[in-house]
Amino acid sequence: MEAPQDLRIHCKSCQKEFTWTAKEQLYYKKKGFAKKPQKCSDCREKANKLRGSGMFYVHCSLCENDGAMLSPPPKDRVALCKSCYDKLVEEKKTES
């Protein structure tokens, strides 16, 4: 069996690239985790702090701010904070 190599992964929340080290990969395998991580350690930590409160961590795709939602972030769309969402709604109103 070939030894694992460090992997570069893009965080699904903030889109920043992070390294999944060979040591971390061995730990995941030992624990029985089949999937590689989808979030960087910063985003995982922020999401874990909200766990149990009924809120979900999001990273706004427009302004780069962090936020929280009552429902899970959309998998097929970008997440927006309330401020950016309100701005887009206002822009659409003025276009009509």
* Residue-wise pLDDT tens digits, 22-67: 999 999 999 999 899 999 999 999 999 988 888 888 888 888 888 8
- The type of residue at 38 is Q
Q: At residue 18, does pLDDT exceed 70? A: yes
- Average pLDDT over all residues of the chain: 88
Q: Answer for the pair 41, 18: CB distance below 8 angstroms, yes or no.
A: yes
Instruction: Kindly state the helix (H) or strand (E) to which residue 17 belongs, with its residue range.
Output: strand 17-20
Task: Give the pair of three-digit tokens for residue 95.
Answer: 């276009």
pLDDT at 86: 93
Please, which residues have CB within 8 angstroms of residue 21's CB and are 6 or more apart in sequence?
Answer: 6
Q: At residue 68, does pLDDT exceed 80? A: yes
